[in-house]
Structures are given as C-alpha cells and as structure tokens.
Amino acid sequence: MTDFKMKTDADGVAIITWDVQGKSMNVMTLEAWPVLDGLIDDALADDAVKGIVITSGKDSFAGGMDLNVIAKMKESAGDNPAKGLFDGLMESHAILRKIERAGMDAKTNKGGKPIAAALPGTALGIGLEIPLACHRIFAADNPKAKIGLPEIMVGIFPGMGGTTRLSRKLGAMGASPLLLEGKLNDPKKAKAAGVVDEVVPADELLSAAKAWVLSEPKIVKPWDEKGYKMPGGAPYHPAGFMTFVGASAMVNGKTQGAFPAAKALLSAVYEGALVPFDTALKIEARWFTNVLMNPSSSAMIRSLFINKEALEKGANRPAIADQKVQKVGVIGAGMMGAGIALVSALAGIQVVLIDNTQEAADKGKAYTTAHLDKGIARKKTTPEKKETVLGLINATTDYAALAGCDLIVEAVFEDVGVKAEVTQKVQAVVGPDCIFATNTSTLPITELAKASNDPEKFIGIHFFSPVDKMLLVEIIKCKETGDVAVAKALDFVRQIRKTPIVVNDERFFYANRCIIPYINEGIRMVKEGVEPALIENAAKLLGMPLGPLQLVDETSVDLGVKIAKATKAAMGDDYPDGEVDDVLFWMFDQNRLGRKSNSGFYDYDAKGKRTGLWEGLATQYPVADDQPDLTTVQHRLMFAQVLEAVRALEENVLEDIREGDVGAILGWGFAPWSGGPFSWLDIIGAPYAAERCDQLTEEFGARFTTPALLREMADKSQAFYKRFGQDTKAA
C-alpha cells in the first residue's frame, strides 16, 4: 500500500494522487518521499506524459510532515546528527527541485513538463511546500480549507523549501505574516496573498489543472530566469533594507530572542536573498539543521503538538462510555460564570445560567451577546448564529430550571459557606447522575465536596481567565471523585475545544501552585533591592509572556494579599513568604492595586496603557548599588516554578509529566521554547539542575532545596522523559 499513486489519462496527463490509507488527512513520512520521487522520475521519462497534476484522494491535500517523525529526526540521523540531518534535507530539496525544473534544460530553460498542484482543501506545511515547487497551484473554492506554513508555531520553520520559495515568490514583506506568524488563509485569501494561483469550484479542480497543463504554459520560475529580482527588494535594496530591518526588530520584539526558530527563519530568508536559488536552499537546510539540533525544537513539538493532542484526545480519560454534556448549569454569572456560559453555548450545549438576581444573570448572558456582536462586526459569525447561541442560554434565578442538567459548574464567590449552600440547593433539583464541578481556584476540592451527598460525583473544573481566550482547563480529582466525573469533565473540555490536564487535589492544584512562587520570587527581589527593570526583562528574555511584577498588576495586588492571608492562616508557622508580604501589603496600603486601580508596580495613563515601571517603588525599596547578573535573576525565576512542578510530581498532584509541561505552557505561558518545566530540566540535565539548586539554596534560601526526586535523578543521570515519558508509562 503506497501513499502516492499515479495514473496517466488519455490526454497524456499523469495524475499523482496522494492518499494515505487509514488516515483522514495526508501526512508525509520518510518512507513516502522516495515513492513520490520515483513517480516524478517515471512521469518525466515517459514520452506519453505531457504534464503532471499532483492532487489528493481526500477532501484536503495534506496536513504536513508527520511531526512524530520531525521530533525524532535528530535521534535517527546517525552518529553525526547534524550532517545526517543536513544531507537528508538536501535530498528532499533535490526531489522538490526536480519537480520545479521538470526536465528543463539547465542553461536555456527550454523543455520540461508542466506540473500543477490541485488542492481540494487544507494544505499545510510540506502540504504547501510541494505545491510551491510546482508550476501552478489550483485550490478548490472550499472556504473551510486552511492554506499556509504553520511550522513556526511548533518551534521549527518551513524547511523543505517553503521559506526560500515563498519569500522569492511574494517578497520578504509579503511572505512575513505567513512565515513568521504561521498565518493560515482560506483559498480566496491565499490567492489574494499570492500563495495560490487559481481558486476554482471544487468540481472543476482537476479539469482546470489538467487544462492548464495541456495549454503549453510557460513553466520556468521567475527565480530561474536571468535578471530575477526579489519582489520588494533584496536586503541591500533601499526598500528591501527597510523590510529586513523592520522584520528583525519585530521578531526580536515578539520573541525577545528566546525562540531559536524565528531567528533562524529570518536568517535563512536574509542570507538566502543574497545568493542564487540553489545556494539559498543550502542555506535554508543549514538553518533548519541548526533548529532541529536545538533541543528546544523537539521539546516544543513534543509538548505543543504531540502531547497536547494526546491529552485532548483523552490520553488520561478513564475507559468508560461517552459522557458528552447535553445541558450544563452554570451557577454564578460573574466574570468566570459568564465566560463558561459563553464557551458552552458556542459548543452547542444548552446552558442554565444562574445568579442571585435576574439583573446579575442577565449581565452574565450579555457577555455572550457582546462577544457575538464583536464576531459579527469582524465577520467571524452571523446574526443567525448569534440567535442560535443566545437561544441556548437561559439566564435565571430559578434553581428549578436546572432540572435535567447532567453537569453543573459552580462559579460563585470564593467562600466555603456560599459554595456549600449552592451545592445543596443544586442537589435538591438535579437528578442522581448529575456531576457537580466547582471552579474554585484556591479552596481545597475535598473540603467543598463535604457539602455534597455524593462526593463520587464531585470534581474541580478550573478555568483560567479570560475563559474564552485561555486554552487550558485543569480538572481536579479529590480522593472520592469517581471515574464518571473525570470522564464527564474531560468530555466537556473536549466539547468546548480546550486542553485538559487532570491533577489531584492539593493547595492551589498545579498551575497556580507553580505561578505563585514565580511572582513571589520577583517581589522578593524588589525587597532585596534588585532593579525592577532587571527582574522584568530577565523574565521576558526567558520567553515568559509577563514579568512577575506585571503579572501581579494584571491579577491585582489585593488578590495577592487575599491569597497570602489565607495561605498564612492555613500554614501557620511554616509560612515562608513574610518578605514577599512586606512588599505586597505595602503596595496594598498605597492603594496601588495594579491595572484595576490604574497604578501598581507599573504606572498607567488615563486609558489604562502601561507607561513604565513606577519609580516611587524605590522610595520604600531602594535599588541596591550591587546588582545580580542576568543569569542569576533568570535562574531564580525559572527554578522557583520548575521546582514546584517537580514537587507536584513527587506529591502525586501531577500523575503525568506531559500534563505538567503542556499545562505550564498553556496555563501560565511558561517559556514555551523549553517545552515546559520537565522538558527544560531535561535540556539542562538533572545533574546540573541539582548542582545549581544547591548553589541557589546556599545563596538565597531553603526554597531552592533540591527535591529528593531530582537529587536521585541527578545521581543516576536520568531524564524526566526517559523515566516518566508515556513510553515508560505504557511499558
């Protein structure tokens, strides 16, 4: 069974059809490449063949390279992996270059057979790089199709000629949103952007491509003709110069230099623009090898693609019948409840949205109205869809409306008493099979479950704010939570298209548990006299989306004070964060509460825009003459989070390191280039991590003490993914 098949029709057009058996979408494998290569050879050598159309046997063209293959490319590249990778890439270039040259005479550009790509639908990654090597790209007018090169999103870049061809076809400026942001377009937009050449009705796709092939078209690519100039100008052209300076600044501004692929991509485009096409392909292959050799790329692919998808598909779901939610009751129509109602209704689930007053319930529903109105204005949705979605939400104060709900998500005030009362009121109405979930972020689920008369059906479903934007949902089991409740929560998360992690019940669960030490380490440094700009920039240079001080401003100083007081009450004399509280409580006393009061660690203008760090902080916490070096600040911020993740694993809060890594990136934006805390520890190696912890402990205190697990792994030179990866787990 081969992935590619060829048939020559009566007109002399060889149709190569890509159709991977047993998959809904084509993906390229290392085995399939030579098959395509052989078919191209055959067609070019066959005098009966006038031209070639490459298409797909599915309603899409291809989803790209099999990322499982890319993630393991380095491991399987032999003893000298850099050379092995480079040679392999050059072989792929040779295949695509063969398609592009199609038998033309090297000097005169005469001869050759026209080759068209006919895309019935989605064409991503190598699924677009193959068409880009063809002479004309036809796409079916399928508005659901997505066309583009999204590689940058998983930490690599288009390395099968896509970078070089697209930048030469569109110019650096035109190619930059597609290459640098991985922007995907539907076929019409792809044509407007110049990526595809023709959009035709789906039932005319093949005939249009064939007609073109038979029309004796000119097939030589502009970059193979004498005098080719890059659209918009190459780097030394005045206009091109501006583009490259701008792109460079943009990439550095967005990535802070923390993502190796973005810089490598830009270098490949820049350097490639200065040399002939074939040399540019070599440069692209060199940079792509460089990216694949960097452990960041395989870690990113593993967490952001392979493991994220595995979790979404229910890797940790108990093996029981489908628990899809039909009718959800959302109690509390505040900030979180309103968002939960929105995402549920968007997924087609019937929603009862309850609050204490009709006004509050209506206000919660109005959030969905506003969201849909914005969507209509941006042409992302229609008035009809708006009516359908709003029709699914019943905003009321009447608990009786909850009858028939199979899931409840409680999002009322963060108060044990209020939550217990709500639990009992709900139980009086719903049936015995209904699962009750709480969205608490700080209260132990086990404690809240006491109010339930069936703790087996009680669970935590912890959303992050803003609910409609944040991709992660943390599902929290307490000891008595049953499998049906876990499956229900996971099926609900899948319905609303978010990524779940399942953790056990301990203080702050997983995400907040790790993010609080990060914030606290930042504040602690303020108290020590570390320059606030150094703290914030050190975090940004690590690839964290927000520095710790900005994060306090966003989540609010009073929330920090509330959490500190509650934690102190719970921990008593063991409470370790007195130093942090000095600063936090002082900020609270100054009424600098963060963004919500338009003043915090940062200053804000009247419109709420941050204008810079607040200089007044230095009056209370003067900046010390001696400043630590950047790496020390970064290691403090990194280890504060990572050690907490290791402790969560030791304490069985986390049962699966994949969840620890994916949850960290999606939940609080943990340095995505690293693949997550466990991947980062694997990159630096357990022995070095333990040694560094010992140094940090000596210098800064016991919070950096090497966890026993890490110490043991350091002694045995073990890696987390070798010891706890899913392969090991399954064994």
Respond yes or no: is residue 441 known to be catalytic. yes
Beta carbons of 247 and 239 less than 8 angstroms apart: no
Shortest separation between residue 449's beta carbon and ligand NAD, angstroms = 15
**Nearest CB to ligand NAD, comparing residues 219 and 422:** 422
Q: Is 414 in the site for ligand NAD (CB under 6 A)?
A: yes
The span from the CA of 348 to the CA of 94, in Å, is 48
Q: In sequence order, which residues have a C-beta less than 8 Å from that of residue 621 and are 6 or more positions away?
A: 526, 527, 529, 583
Does position 666 interact with ligand NAD (CB under 6 A)? The reply is: no
Active site residue 462: yes
User: CA of 12: how far to CAs of 48, 103, 104, 105, in Å?
Assistant: 6, 16, 18, 21
Is residue 424 within the footprint of ligand NAD (CB under 6 A)?
no
Catalytic pick from 462, 520, 531, 655?
Answer: 462
**CB-based burial of residue 318 (10 Å sphere; 0-12 exposed, 13-18 middle, 19+ buried)?**
middle
Is residue 215 packed enough to be buried (19+ CB in 10 Å), middle (13-18) or exposed (0-12)?
Answer: exposed
Tell me how far apart the alpha carbons of residues 400 and 164 are, in angstroms, rounded to a whole number: 63
Long-range contacts of the stretch 175-178 (C-beta < 8 A, 24+) = 175/269, 176/243, 176/247, 178/148, 178/149
CB of residue 465 to ligand NAD, shortest distance in Å: 3
User: Which residue in 109, 316, 512, 597 is the catalytic one?
Assistant: 512
Write the interaction track for ligand NAD spanning residues 14-53; mark x where CB under 6 A is met and - where it is not: ----------------------------------------
Does position 618 interact with ligand NAD (CB under 6 A)? The reply is no
Which is the catalytic residue, given 298, 441, 504, 679?
Answer: 441
Which stretches of 31-166 are assigned E, i.e. beta strand?
51-56, 64-65, 115-119, 123-124, 136-140, 147-148
Q: How far is the CB of 359 from ligand NAD (least distance, A)?
A: 10
Backbone angles phi, psi at 613, to 5 degrees: -65, 145
If binding is defined by CB under 6 A, does position 420 make contact with ligand NAD? no
Residue with smaller CB distance to ligand NAD, 217 or 466: 466
- Is residue 500 near ligand NAD by the rule CB under 6 A? no
Please tell me whether residue 514 binds ligand NAD under the rule CB under 6 A.
no
Within 10-114, strands assigned E span: 13-18, 27-28, 51-56, 64-65
Is 546 an interacting residue with respect to ligand NAD (CB under 6 A)? no
Give the residue, chosen from 200, 335, 420, 566, that forms a contact with ligand NAD under the rule CB under 6 A.
335
* 11, 53, 416, 550, 606 from 38: Cα distances, Å: 22, 15, 69, 57, 66
Q: Round to whole Å and give the CA distance between 166 and 149.
A: 10
Can you tell me the distance from the alpha carbon of 692 to that of 639, in angstroms, rounded to the nearest whole number? 9
Quick check: 178 and 149 in contact, CB under 8 A?
yes
Instruction: Note whether 422 binds ligand NAD by CB under 6 A.
Output: yes
Closest approach, Cβ 412 to ligand NAD, in A, equals 4
Determine the residue with CB nearest ligand NAD: 334
Terminal C-alpha separation, the chain: 30
Interface with ligand NAD by CB under 6 A: which range of 46-54, 353-361, 524-532, 615-623? Answer: 353-361
Nearer to ligand NAD, 219 or 409 (CB): 409
C-alpha span between 451 and 449 (Å, rounded) = 5
Q: Judged by CB under 6 A, which of 14, 77, 300, 333 binds ligand NAD?
A: 333
Let me know if 109 is exposed, middle or buried by CB neighbors in 10 A (0-12, 13-18, 19+). middle
135 counts as catalytic: no
CA-wise closest residue to 636 among 528, 714, 564, 712: 528
For ligand NAD (CB under 6 A), the number of binding residues is 23
* Least gap, CB of 468 to ligand NAD (angstroms): 13
Quickly list DSSP for 180-206: HS---B-HHHHHHTTSSSEEE-GGGHH
Nearest distance, CB of residue 518 and ligand NAD, angstroms: 17
**Which residue among the candidates 151, 284, 474, 521 is catalytic per the annotation?**
474
Using CB under 6 A as the binding rule, the residues of this chain from 266 to 305 that contact ligand NAD are none
- Please answer whether residues 102 and 113 qualify as being in contact, where contact means their C-beta atoms are separated by less than 8 angstroms: yes
Spatial distance between the Cα atoms of 354 and 82, rounded to a whole number of angstroms: 59
Q: Which of 334, 375, 404, 687 binds ligand NAD (CB under 6 A)?
A: 334
Minimum CB–partner distance for residue 341 and ligand NAD (Å)? 11
Q: Site residues for ligand NAD, window 435-454 (CB under 6 A)?
A: 439-442
User: ω before 318 within 30° of 0 (cis)?
Assistant: no
- Site residues (CB under 6 A) for ligand NAD, limited to 354-413: 354-356, 360, 411-413
| Residue 401 DSSP class | G
What are the start-end ranges of the E strands in 233-381? 327-331, 350-354
Measured from the CB of residue 329, what is the shortest distance to ligand NAD in angstroms?
11
Which 81-120 residues touch ligand NAD, going by CB under 6 A?
A: none
> Residue 121 or residue 337: which is nearer to ligand NAD going by CB?
337
Binds ligand NAD by CB under 6 A, chosen from 121, 161, 332, 676: 332
Interface with ligand NAD includes 61 (CB under 6 A)? Answer: no
Q: Is 504 an active-site residue?
A: no
Q: For residues 429 and 399, is the Cβ–Cβ distance under 8 A?
A: yes
Q: For ligand NAD, what does the binding mask look like between residues 462 and 491, x meaning CB under 6 A?
A: -x-x--------------------------
Part of the chain binding ligand NAD (CB under 6 A), chosen from 228-236, 331-339, 491-499, 596-604: 331-339
Shorter beta-carbon distance to ligand NAD: residue 85 or 354? 354
344 lines the binding site for ligand NAD (CB under 6 A): no
Q: Does 664 bind ligand NAD (CB under 6 A)?
A: no
Q: Does 509 sit near ligand NAD (CB under 6 A)?
A: no
Residue whose tokens read 């050059």: 90
Q: How many CB atoms lie within 10 A of CB 625?
A: 6
Residues carrying an active site annotation? 441, 462, 474, 512
Q: Which residues bind ligand NAD (CB under 6 A)?
A: 331-337, 354-356, 360, 411-414, 418, 422, 439-442, 463, 465
